[in-house]
């Protein structure tokens, strides 16, 4: 298993706006962070700030995010990580899946149904909510920390 995982890491071919780091070094390759800086979609930062980061682990977001596929506790709904998931999809596929969540959020498979309903019913309001949340504002009764750097 470890050898297969190491092979995955050496063969990574990430999108240009995705980065992976290993905070505990080579002795703990199962503990890693993915940084995603979307260049398109609702989470695009060009009109907000020049740098925008989401720090994610495979199943949990360490940052509270206003997103239809991420709940307020940080659980990530990624269809390739369902109950029938096997180690066959490599880490590269998983990171592309996470990247896709931020370029094309999916209101049809929500963990945050409030955000999903807004995305489905009023995309302009959803865009405004995303900007407010990323800037460290509140959406409804929920306050978000700024993820703009």
- Specify the CATH number for the domain of residue 127: 3.10.110.10
Structural domain contains residue 42: yes
Q: Domain count for the chain, please give it.
A: 1
Structural domain contains residue 148: no
Structural domain contains residue 120: yes
- HEC sequence for 18-85: EEEECCCHHHHCCCCEEEECCCCCCCCCCCCCCCECEEECCCEECCCCCECCECCCCEECCHHHCCCC
Mean pLDDT in residue range 51-80: 74
pLDDT at 123 over 90: yes
The verdict on whether 18 is a catalytic residue reads no
Give the structural domain span for 135. Answer: 2-143
Is 57 buried (19+), middle (13-18) or exposed (0-12) by CB count in 10 A? middle
SS3 of 9, please? helix
pLDDT at 84: 58
Average pLDDT, the chain: 77
Structural domain contains residue 58: yes
Question: What are 18's strand-pairing partners?
Answer: 36
Band (pLDDT 50/70/90 cuts) for residue 98 is confident
Structural domain contains residue 83: yes
Structural domain contains residue 45: yes
pLDDT at 61 over 80: no
pLDDT at 16: 81
pLDDT tens for each residue of 41-60: 888 763 333 333 444 555 67
Structural domain contains residue 102: yes
pLDDT at 28: 67
Task: Quote the crossing angle between the two packed helices 113-121 and 123-134, to the nearest 10°.
Answer: 130
Mean pLDDT in residue range 78-90: 62
pLDDT at 114 over 60: yes
d(CA 90, CA 117): 32
Provide the whole-model pTM.
0.74
């Amino acid at each position: 298993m470890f050898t297969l995982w190491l092979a995955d890491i050496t063969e990574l071919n990430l999108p240009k706006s995705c980065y992976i780091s290993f905070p505990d070094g080579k002795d703990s390759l199962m503990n890693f962070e993915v940084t995603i800086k979307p260049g398109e979609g609702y989470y695009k930062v060009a009109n907000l700030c020049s740098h925008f980061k989401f720090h994610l682990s495979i199943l949990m977001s360490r940052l509270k995010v206003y997103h239809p596929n991420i709940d307020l506790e940080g659980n990530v709904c990624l269809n390739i990580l369902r109950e029938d998931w096997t180690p066959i999809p490599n880490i590269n596929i998983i990171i592309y899946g996470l990247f896709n969540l931020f370029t094309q959020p999916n209101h049809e498979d929500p963990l945050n149904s409030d955000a999903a309903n807004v995305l489905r019913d009023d995309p302009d309001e959803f865009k405004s909510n995303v900007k407010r949340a990323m800037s460290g504002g509140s959406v409804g009764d929920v306050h978000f920390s700024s993820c703009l750097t």
